[in-house]
Amino acid sequence: MKVYLDNAATTPVAPEVFEAMAPIFQDNFGNPSSTHLFGRGSKAIIEKSRRNIAGHLNCKPSEIIFTSGGTEADNMAMFTSVSELGVTRIVTSCLEHHAVGHTAKNIESKFNIELVLVDVDSKGNVNLEHLEQILSDTSKKTLLTLMHANNEIGTLLPIHEVSRLCRKHGAYFHSDTVQTMGHYSFDLEVLDIDFLTCAAHKFHGPKGVGFLYVKSSVHTTAFIHGGAQERGLRGGTENIYGIVGLSKAMDMAYEDLEAHQTHVYGLKKYMKACFIAAIPDVQFHGETSKDSALYTVLNVDFPETDKASMLLFTLDLKGIAASGGSACSSGSSKGSHVLEGIGANVKRPNTRFSFSRYTTKEEIDYAVQQVVEIFKNNIV
Protein backbone atom coordinates (compact mmCIF):
# COMPACT_ATOMS: atom_id res chain seq x y z
CA MET A 1 0.00 0.00 0.00
CA LYS A 2 1.27 3.49 -0.84
CA VAL A 3 0.15 6.29 1.45
CA TYR A 4 0.77 10.00 0.85
CA LEU A 5 0.73 12.00 4.10
CA ASP A 6 2.85 15.00 3.10
CA ASN A 7 0.11 17.32 1.84
CA ALA A 8 1.56 20.33 3.65
CA ALA A 9 4.45 20.08 1.20
CA THR A 10 2.20 19.75 -1.82
CA THR A 11 -1.11 18.19 -2.80
CA PRO A 12 -2.03 16.10 -5.84
CA VAL A 13 -3.72 18.06 -8.61
CA ALA A 14 -7.47 17.44 -8.53
CA PRO A 15 -8.82 15.74 -11.68
CA GLU A 16 -11.31 18.58 -12.07
CA VAL A 17 -8.45 21.09 -12.01
CA PHE A 18 -6.55 19.17 -14.68
CA GLU A 19 -9.69 19.05 -16.83
CA ALA A 20 -10.10 22.82 -16.51
CA MET A 21 -6.49 23.42 -17.51
CA ALA A 22 -6.26 21.00 -20.45
CA PRO A 23 -8.20 23.10 -23.01
CA ILE A 24 -6.12 26.16 -22.12
CA PHE A 25 -2.91 24.29 -23.05
CA GLN A 26 -4.41 23.31 -26.38
CA ASP A 27 -6.57 26.22 -27.47
CA ASN A 28 -5.60 29.43 -25.67
CA PHE A 29 -1.98 30.01 -26.63
CA GLY A 30 -2.27 33.75 -27.32
CA ASN A 31 -0.07 36.11 -25.34
CA PRO A 32 -2.41 37.94 -22.93
CA SER A 33 -0.58 41.21 -23.65
CA SER A 34 -1.22 40.99 -27.40
CA THR A 35 -4.06 43.14 -28.73
CA HIS A 36 -5.25 40.75 -31.41
CA LEU A 37 -8.05 38.18 -31.13
CA PHE A 38 -5.85 35.43 -29.66
CA GLY A 39 -4.29 37.71 -27.05
CA ARG A 40 -7.62 39.24 -26.04
CA GLY A 41 -9.06 35.76 -25.52
CA SER A 42 -6.23 34.81 -23.17
CA LYS A 43 -6.51 38.11 -21.31
CA ALA A 44 -10.24 37.58 -20.82
CA ILE A 45 -9.60 34.16 -19.28
CA ILE A 46 -7.10 35.62 -16.80
CA GLU A 47 -9.45 38.42 -15.77
CA LYS A 48 -12.36 36.02 -15.36
CA SER A 49 -10.18 33.92 -13.05
CA ARG A 50 -9.10 37.01 -11.12
CA ARG A 51 -12.73 38.05 -10.58
CA ASN A 52 -13.62 34.54 -9.47
CA ILE A 53 -10.80 34.39 -6.92
CA ALA A 54 -11.63 37.87 -5.63
CA GLY A 55 -15.23 36.74 -5.18
CA HIS A 56 -14.14 33.92 -2.90
CA LEU A 57 -12.16 36.38 -0.76
CA ASN A 58 -14.63 39.28 -0.89
CA CYS A 59 -12.05 41.70 -2.23
CA LYS A 60 -11.53 43.74 -5.41
CA PRO A 61 -10.17 41.89 -8.46
CA SER A 62 -7.50 44.58 -8.79
CA GLU A 63 -6.16 43.56 -5.35
CA ILE A 64 -5.14 40.10 -6.65
CA ILE A 65 -1.65 39.98 -8.20
CA PHE A 66 -0.75 36.64 -9.79
CA THR A 67 2.70 35.27 -8.94
CA SER A 68 4.69 32.07 -9.35
CA GLY A 69 3.66 30.97 -5.86
CA GLY A 70 3.86 31.77 -2.18
CA THR A 71 7.60 32.43 -1.94
CA GLU A 72 7.52 35.09 -4.62
CA ALA A 73 4.41 36.62 -3.06
CA ASP A 74 6.09 36.83 0.36
CA ASN A 75 9.21 38.38 -1.18
CA MET A 76 7.13 40.86 -3.12
CA ALA A 77 5.22 42.01 -0.04
CA MET A 78 8.33 42.38 2.10
CA PHE A 79 10.71 43.99 -0.40
CA THR A 80 8.16 46.49 -1.67
CA SER A 81 7.22 47.43 1.90
CA VAL A 82 10.80 48.53 2.47
CA SER A 83 11.63 49.96 -0.96
CA GLU A 84 8.29 51.64 -1.68
CA LEU A 85 6.38 52.11 1.58
CA GLY A 86 9.28 53.39 3.67
CA VAL A 87 9.32 50.55 6.19
CA THR A 88 12.46 50.65 8.36
CA ARG A 89 11.56 47.91 10.83
CA ILE A 90 10.31 44.36 10.24
CA VAL A 91 8.74 42.45 13.11
CA THR A 92 8.43 38.68 12.74
CA SER A 93 9.08 35.45 14.67
CA CYS A 94 11.74 32.74 14.68
CA LEU A 95 9.15 30.19 13.48
CA GLU A 96 8.38 31.63 10.06
CA HIS A 97 8.77 29.73 6.80
CA HIS A 98 12.13 30.47 5.17
CA ALA A 99 10.29 32.43 2.46
CA VAL A 100 9.75 35.02 5.20
CA GLY A 101 12.56 34.33 7.68
CA HIS A 102 15.40 34.24 5.17
CA THR A 103 13.92 37.16 3.24
CA ALA A 104 13.74 39.25 6.40
CA LYS A 105 17.41 38.58 7.17
CA ASN A 106 18.36 39.45 3.58
CA ILE A 107 16.44 42.71 3.75
CA GLU A 108 18.00 43.52 7.13
CA SER A 109 21.49 43.30 5.69
CA LYS A 110 20.71 44.82 2.32
CA PHE A 111 18.68 47.82 3.50
CA ASN A 112 20.09 48.18 7.02
CA ILE A 113 16.67 47.99 8.60
CA GLU A 114 15.83 46.85 12.13
CA LEU A 115 14.67 43.22 12.48
CA VAL A 116 12.76 42.36 15.66
CA LEU A 117 11.57 38.91 16.77
CA VAL A 118 8.42 38.57 18.86
CA ASP A 119 8.39 35.96 21.63
CA VAL A 120 6.67 32.60 21.09
CA ASP A 121 5.78 29.87 23.57
CA SER A 122 6.45 26.12 23.52
CA LYS A 123 3.33 25.53 21.41
CA GLY A 124 4.31 28.13 18.82
CA ASN A 125 1.83 30.78 19.97
CA VAL A 126 2.86 34.40 19.52
CA ASN A 127 3.05 36.37 22.76
CA LEU A 128 0.50 39.09 22.00
CA GLU A 129 1.52 41.23 24.97
CA HIS A 130 5.10 41.29 23.75
CA LEU A 131 3.88 42.00 20.22
CA GLU A 132 1.88 45.01 21.35
CA GLN A 133 4.84 46.24 23.38
CA ILE A 134 6.96 46.13 20.21
CA LEU A 135 4.33 47.76 18.01
CA SER A 136 3.64 50.52 20.55
CA ASP A 137 7.03 51.98 19.63
CA THR A 138 5.91 53.92 16.57
CA SER A 139 9.18 55.75 15.98
CA LYS A 140 9.84 53.56 12.92
CA LYS A 141 7.49 52.64 10.11
CA THR A 142 6.86 48.93 10.68
CA LEU A 143 5.88 45.83 8.76
CA LEU A 144 4.62 42.92 10.83
CA THR A 145 4.88 39.56 9.08
CA LEU A 146 3.50 36.46 10.83
CA MET A 147 2.21 33.29 9.21
CA HIS A 148 -1.45 32.40 9.70
CA ALA A 149 -0.64 28.74 10.43
CA ASN A 150 2.76 27.25 11.03
CA ASN A 151 3.61 24.83 8.25
CA GLU A 152 5.44 22.41 10.54
CA ILE A 153 3.49 22.34 13.82
CA GLY A 154 0.17 23.80 12.69
CA THR A 155 -0.38 26.43 15.40
CA LEU A 156 -2.80 29.14 14.23
CA LEU A 157 -2.28 32.87 14.63
CA PRO A 158 -5.29 34.84 15.93
CA ILE A 159 -5.12 36.85 12.73
CA HIS A 160 -8.03 39.22 13.41
CA GLU A 161 -6.67 40.16 16.83
CA VAL A 162 -3.20 40.75 15.38
CA SER A 163 -4.72 42.87 12.62
CA ARG A 164 -6.38 45.09 15.21
CA LEU A 165 -3.04 45.56 16.99
CA CYS A 166 -1.42 46.60 13.73
CA ARG A 167 -4.12 49.16 12.98
CA LYS A 168 -4.00 50.47 16.55
CA HIS A 169 -0.28 51.18 16.21
CA GLY A 170 -0.09 52.09 12.52
CA ALA A 171 1.87 49.05 11.30
CA TYR A 172 1.57 47.31 7.94
CA PHE A 173 0.50 43.67 8.25
CA HIS A 174 1.56 40.80 5.99
CA SER A 175 0.59 37.20 6.68
CA ASP A 176 1.93 34.12 4.92
CA THR A 177 -1.39 32.32 4.36
CA VAL A 178 0.01 29.65 2.05
CA GLN A 179 -1.01 26.82 4.41
CA THR A 180 -4.47 28.22 5.12
CA MET A 181 -5.64 29.61 1.77
CA GLY A 182 -8.19 27.15 0.41
CA HIS A 183 -8.58 25.61 3.87
CA TYR A 184 -10.18 28.53 5.74
CA SER A 185 -12.54 31.25 4.60
CA PHE A 186 -11.24 34.82 4.26
CA ASP A 187 -13.48 37.87 4.14
CA LEU A 188 -11.17 40.73 3.26
CA GLU A 189 -13.88 43.30 3.87
CA VAL A 190 -13.75 42.17 7.51
CA LEU A 191 -10.09 41.19 7.91
CA ASP A 192 -8.10 44.41 7.72
CA ILE A 193 -4.76 43.25 6.31
CA ASP A 194 -2.33 44.71 3.78
CA PHE A 195 -0.84 41.58 2.22
CA LEU A 196 -1.62 37.88 2.18
CA THR A 197 -0.34 35.07 0.01
CA CYS A 198 -1.40 31.96 -1.87
CA ALA A 199 0.17 28.92 -3.57
CA ALA A 200 -2.24 26.83 -5.63
CA HIS A 201 -0.45 23.54 -5.06
CA LYS A 202 -1.34 23.53 -1.36
CA PHE A 203 -5.00 22.85 -2.18
CA HIS A 204 -4.97 20.59 -5.25
CA GLY A 205 -4.02 23.22 -7.81
CA PRO A 206 -0.94 23.25 -10.05
CA LYS A 207 2.57 24.15 -8.92
CA GLY A 208 4.17 27.37 -10.09
CA VAL A 209 1.22 29.71 -9.59
CA GLY A 210 -0.23 31.71 -6.71
CA PHE A 211 -1.04 35.29 -5.85
CA LEU A 212 -0.35 38.19 -3.55
CA TYR A 213 -3.31 40.13 -2.19
CA VAL A 214 -2.40 43.81 -1.91
CA LYS A 215 -4.94 46.05 -0.19
CA SER A 216 -6.05 48.80 -2.54
CA SER A 217 -5.00 51.51 -0.09
CA VAL A 218 -1.39 50.25 -0.26
CA HIS A 219 0.43 51.85 -3.19
CA THR A 220 3.56 50.12 -4.48
CA THR A 221 5.44 49.95 -7.76
CA ALA A 222 6.94 47.07 -9.75
CA PHE A 223 8.65 44.19 -7.98
CA ILE A 224 9.60 42.43 -11.24
CA HIS A 225 10.45 44.80 -14.08
CA GLY A 226 10.22 44.21 -17.83
CA GLY A 227 6.52 44.45 -18.56
CA ALA A 228 3.29 46.13 -17.54
CA GLN A 229 1.48 42.94 -16.50
CA GLU A 230 -0.37 42.64 -13.18
CA ARG A 231 -1.12 46.34 -12.78
CA GLY A 232 2.52 47.03 -13.59
CA LEU A 233 3.66 45.29 -10.38
CA ARG A 234 4.95 42.05 -11.88
CA GLY A 235 6.43 42.00 -15.36
CA GLY A 236 6.34 38.78 -17.36
CA THR A 237 3.86 36.82 -19.43
CA GLU A 238 1.17 35.36 -17.19
CA ASN A 239 0.87 31.63 -16.51
CA ILE A 240 -2.60 31.43 -18.01
CA TYR A 241 -3.20 27.69 -17.61
CA GLY A 242 -1.85 27.82 -14.04
CA ILE A 243 -4.15 30.74 -13.22
CA VAL A 244 -7.14 28.79 -14.56
CA GLY A 245 -6.09 25.81 -12.43
CA LEU A 246 -5.75 28.05 -9.37
CA SER A 247 -9.22 29.48 -9.92
CA LYS A 248 -10.78 26.02 -10.30
CA ALA A 249 -8.95 24.73 -7.22
CA MET A 250 -10.39 27.61 -5.20
CA ASP A 251 -13.88 26.79 -6.47
CA MET A 252 -13.47 23.24 -5.22
CA ALA A 253 -11.94 24.31 -1.92
CA TYR A 254 -14.77 26.66 -1.04
CA GLU A 255 -17.64 24.63 -2.48
CA ASP A 256 -18.20 22.77 0.81
CA LEU A 257 -15.45 23.99 3.09
CA GLU A 258 -17.11 22.97 6.35
CA ALA A 259 -17.51 19.35 5.24
CA HIS A 260 -13.90 19.28 4.08
CA GLN A 261 -12.71 20.62 7.44
CA THR A 262 -14.80 18.06 9.32
CA HIS A 263 -13.48 15.17 7.23
CA VAL A 264 -9.81 16.10 7.47
CA TYR A 265 -9.88 17.09 11.14
CA GLY A 266 -11.58 13.78 11.89
CA LEU A 267 -8.65 11.92 10.33
CA LYS A 268 -6.13 14.00 12.26
CA LYS A 269 -7.97 13.43 15.55
CA TYR A 270 -8.24 9.69 14.81
CA MET A 271 -4.53 9.35 14.04
CA LYS A 272 -3.60 11.22 17.20
CA ALA A 273 -5.80 8.92 19.32
CA CYS A 274 -4.31 5.82 17.67
CA PHE A 275 -0.76 6.92 18.47
CA ILE A 276 -1.66 7.74 22.08
CA ALA A 277 -3.23 4.30 22.53
CA ALA A 278 -0.35 2.37 20.94
CA ILE A 279 2.92 4.19 21.70
CA PRO A 280 3.92 5.11 25.27
CA ASP A 281 5.34 8.61 25.74
CA VAL A 282 4.21 9.84 22.32
CA GLN A 283 3.74 13.61 22.29
CA PHE A 284 2.65 16.26 19.82
CA HIS A 285 4.15 19.59 18.82
CA GLY A 286 2.12 22.76 18.54
CA GLU A 287 -1.53 23.23 19.27
CA THR A 288 -3.74 20.33 18.15
CA SER A 289 -7.37 21.37 18.73
CA LYS A 290 -9.52 22.37 15.77
CA ASP A 291 -9.87 25.99 16.90
CA SER A 292 -6.20 26.64 17.60
CA ALA A 293 -4.38 24.52 15.02
CA LEU A 294 -4.28 23.88 11.30
CA TYR A 295 -6.50 20.84 10.83
CA THR A 296 -4.39 19.42 7.99
CA VAL A 297 -1.19 18.96 10.04
CA LEU A 298 -0.21 16.64 12.90
CA ASN A 299 3.37 16.92 14.15
CA VAL A 300 4.24 13.83 16.21
CA ASP A 301 7.05 13.65 18.75
CA PHE A 302 7.92 9.95 19.07
CA PRO A 303 9.95 8.39 21.93
CA GLU A 304 13.69 8.94 21.81
CA THR A 305 15.72 6.32 19.98
CA ASP A 306 19.32 5.93 18.83
CA LYS A 307 18.07 5.61 15.24
CA ALA A 308 15.77 8.64 15.18
CA SER A 309 17.14 9.81 11.84
CA MET A 310 16.03 6.55 10.21
CA LEU A 311 12.29 6.88 10.89
CA LEU A 312 11.34 8.78 7.74
CA PHE A 313 13.56 6.54 5.62
CA THR A 314 11.96 3.43 7.12
CA LEU A 315 8.48 4.82 6.52
CA ASP A 316 9.42 5.55 2.93
CA LEU A 317 10.48 1.93 2.44
CA LYS A 318 7.03 0.92 3.65
CA GLY A 319 5.36 3.21 1.12
CA ILE A 320 4.45 6.02 3.51
CA ALA A 321 5.31 9.61 2.61
CA ALA A 322 5.67 11.97 5.57
CA SER A 323 8.22 14.61 6.50
CA GLY A 324 10.34 16.00 9.28
CA GLY A 325 9.27 19.56 8.57
CA SER A 326 9.20 21.97 5.66
CA ALA A 327 9.88 20.43 2.24
CA CYS A 328 11.76 23.62 1.38
CA SER A 329 14.46 22.58 3.86
CA SER A 330 14.88 18.99 2.67
CA GLY A 331 18.49 18.03 2.16
CA SER A 332 19.64 20.49 4.77
CA SER A 333 22.03 19.22 7.42
CA LYS A 334 20.36 21.50 9.97
CA GLY A 335 17.39 20.43 12.03
CA SER A 336 14.03 22.17 12.03
CA HIS A 337 14.30 25.83 13.01
CA VAL A 338 10.66 25.64 14.13
CA LEU A 339 11.26 22.81 16.61
CA GLU A 340 14.38 24.57 17.80
CA GLY A 341 12.40 27.78 18.19
CA ILE A 342 9.84 26.16 20.51
CA GLY A 343 12.53 24.37 22.52
CA ALA A 344 11.64 20.84 21.38
CA ASN A 345 13.89 17.86 22.01
CA VAL A 346 15.23 17.27 18.50
CA LYS A 347 16.88 14.00 19.56
CA ARG A 348 13.44 12.42 19.46
CA PRO A 349 12.03 11.43 16.04
CA ASN A 350 9.74 14.25 15.00
CA THR A 351 7.44 13.54 12.09
CA ARG A 352 4.87 15.72 10.32
CA PHE A 353 1.86 13.91 8.90
CA SER A 354 -0.39 16.12 6.78
CA PHE A 355 -3.72 15.31 5.19
CA SER A 356 -5.97 16.31 2.28
CA ARG A 357 -9.48 15.76 0.96
CA TYR A 358 -8.26 12.55 -0.65
CA THR A 359 -6.79 11.01 2.53
CA THR A 360 -8.74 7.99 3.80
CA LYS A 361 -9.16 6.25 7.17
CA GLU A 362 -7.68 3.09 5.64
CA GLU A 363 -4.50 5.00 4.82
CA ILE A 364 -4.31 6.32 8.38
CA ASP A 365 -4.77 2.77 9.74
CA TYR A 366 -1.96 1.47 7.54
CA ALA A 367 0.40 4.30 8.50
CA VAL A 368 -0.28 3.89 12.22
CA GLN A 369 0.15 0.12 11.96
CA GLN A 370 3.54 0.50 10.30
CA VAL A 371 4.76 3.13 12.77
CA VAL A 372 3.70 0.99 15.74
CA GLU A 373 5.47 -2.02 14.24
CA ILE A 374 8.63 0.04 13.73
CA PHE A 375 8.78 1.02 17.40
CA LYS A 376 7.62 -2.37 18.72
CA ASN A 377 10.37 -4.14 16.84
CA ASN A 378 12.91 -1.41 17.65
CA ILE A 379 13.59 -0.91 13.95
CA VAL A 380 14.49 2.71 14.64
**Per residue, what are the HEC states of 60-103?**
CHHHEEEECCHHHHHHHHHHHHHHCCCCCEEEECCCCCHHHHHH
What's residue 328's pLDDT?
A: 58
**What band does 53 get if pLDDT is binned at 50, 70 and 90?**
very high
CB 323, CB 355: distance < 8 Å:
no
Mean pLDDT of 53-73: 98
What's residue 346's pLDDT?
A: 80
Q: Which sequence spans correspond to the domains of the chain?
A: 3-12+257-376, 15-255
- Higher confidence at residue 259 or residue 310? 259
Q: Does the structure show a pLDDT above 60 at 264?
A: yes
Rounded to the nearest 10 degrees, how much is the dihedral formed by the CA atoms of 55, 59, 60, 65?
-90
Q: Does the structure show a pLDDT above 80 at 307?
A: no
Q: Does the structure show a pLDDT above 80 at 329?
A: no
What's residue 335's pLDDT?
A: 79
Q: Does the structure show a pLDDT above 60 at 210?
A: yes
Average pLDDT, the chain: 95
Query: Which of 94, 166, 274, 328 does the annotation list as catalytic?
Result: 328
What's residue 187's pLDDT?
A: 98
What's residue 334's pLDDT?
A: 65
Percent of the residues in the chain that have a pLDDT greater than 70, as a whole number? 96
Q: Does the structure show a pLDDT above 70 at 64?
A: yes
Which fold would CATH assign to domain 3-12+257-376?
Aspartate Aminotransferase, domain 1 (3.90.1150)
The 3 state secondary structure assigned to the chain is CCEECECCCCCCCCHHHHHHHHHHHHHCCCCCCCCCHHHHHHHHHHHHHHHHHHHHHCCCHHHEEEECCHHHHHHHHHHHHHHCCCCCEEEECCCCCHHHHHHHHHHHHHHCCEEEECCECCCCCECHHHHHHHHCCCCCCEEEECCCECCCCCEECCHHHHHHHHHHHCCEEEECCCCCECCECCCCCCCCCCEEEEEHHHHCCCCCCEEEEECCCCCCCCCECCCCCHHHCECCCCCHHHHHHHHHHHHHHHHCHHHHHHHHHHHHHHHHHHHHHHCCCCEEECCCCCCCECCCEEEEECCCCCCHHHHHHHHHHCCEECECCCHHHCCCCCCCHHHHHCCCCCCCCEEEEECCCCCCHHHHHHHHHHHHHHHHCCCC
Mean pLDDT of 15-32: 96
**Residue 361: alpha-carbon gap to chain centroid:** 25
What's residue 326's pLDDT?
A: 57
Which fold would CATH assign to domain 15-255?
Aspartate Aminotransferase; domain 2 (3.40.640)
**What band does 333 get if pLDDT is binned at 50, 70 and 90?**
very low
* Burial of residue 378 (number of CB atoms within 10 Å: 0-12, 13-18, 19+): exposed
Q: Is 274 one of the annotated active-site residues of the chain?
A: no
Residue 172's beta-bridge partner residues?
Answer: 143
- Higher confidence at residue 85 or residue 305? 85
**What band does 125 get if pLDDT is binned at 50, 70 and 90?**
very high
Mean pLDDT of 31-58: 97
What's residue 306's pLDDT?
A: 66
What's residue 331's pLDDT?
A: 46
Residue 95's beta-bridge partner residues?
Answer: none
Q: Does the structure show a pLDDT above 70 at 314?
A: yes
The tens digit of pLDDT for each residue in 140-186 reads 999 999 999 999 999 999 999 999 999 999 999 999 999 999 999 99
What's residue 129's pLDDT?
A: 98
Mean pLDDT of 20-44: 96
Structure pTM? Answer: 0.95
- Higher confidence at residue 6 or residue 345? 6
Residues near 2 by beta carbon (within 8 Å), at least 6 away in sequence: 319, 320, 321
